[in-house]
Amino acid sequence: MLSLIFSSSSPTFCLRSKTLALTTALSSLTARTTMSVSLQSHAFAGNPLRSRTPNPDDPFSPISAFESLKTRLLENTHQPTSPDFRVLPFRKGRPLASSSPGGPAPDWHLGWISLTDFRGLLASSGVQLSENSLVYLGSKVEDDVVYWAIDVSDEGGLVPEFSSKQFCFVELRTLMVATDWADQQAMGDLSIAGHDACLCAEFLAHRCG
């Protein structure tokens, strides 16, 4: 009976299995690693993304980036353009994430998706991406990237798509437990996830209000 259950090809079962596997893998870090925790630091402090630029005409500023976003969505081009735009989807406050095996425990990372690829995923589900659905997060000038977030809680059809690419939506508390606080890059991702979840919640509250 047990073998029959685990051999089920149900999409819902497969999705739950992958989500459970990722959550379990991330949570297991608490038992296998020693975290360097400073009680004077906050788990979501140190966001590495720059949210402001002194010149509004700068291509990385919120105003310029938003205008560029509208143009790209209208042109529907697949040609690489500077700066690069990347999107982090959220679902019910959970950021998209994945893990990869490495060392004694798996490493997790946020599920950033290029604007072109994300728009294609939405189109395959019959949804057209609008610039008003995206929240500006900031940029990394040195990497030539502008970052955006979007809430996809109402787009249930995307969950199997992400699952097929080994991504799933993970609770922030699980990511906190799974993060080595001595790892600067991991702490930066954790900070981004925490701040972005708040921004998406505020954005939705403002839009619905």
Distance CA 155, CA 161 (A): 11
| Residue pair 87/148 in contact by the 8 Å Cβ criterion | yes
How many other CB atoms sit within 10 Å of the CB of residue 20? 11
Q: For the chain, which domains are there?
A: 54-208 (3.90.79)
pLDDT digits (tens, 9 = 90+) for 124-169: 888 889 999 999 988 888 889 999 999 998 888 888 888 888 888 9
Q: Is the pLDDT of residue 88 over 90?
A: yes
Tokens 């979501």, residue located: 44
pLDDT bin (cut points 50, 70, 90) of residue 31 is very low
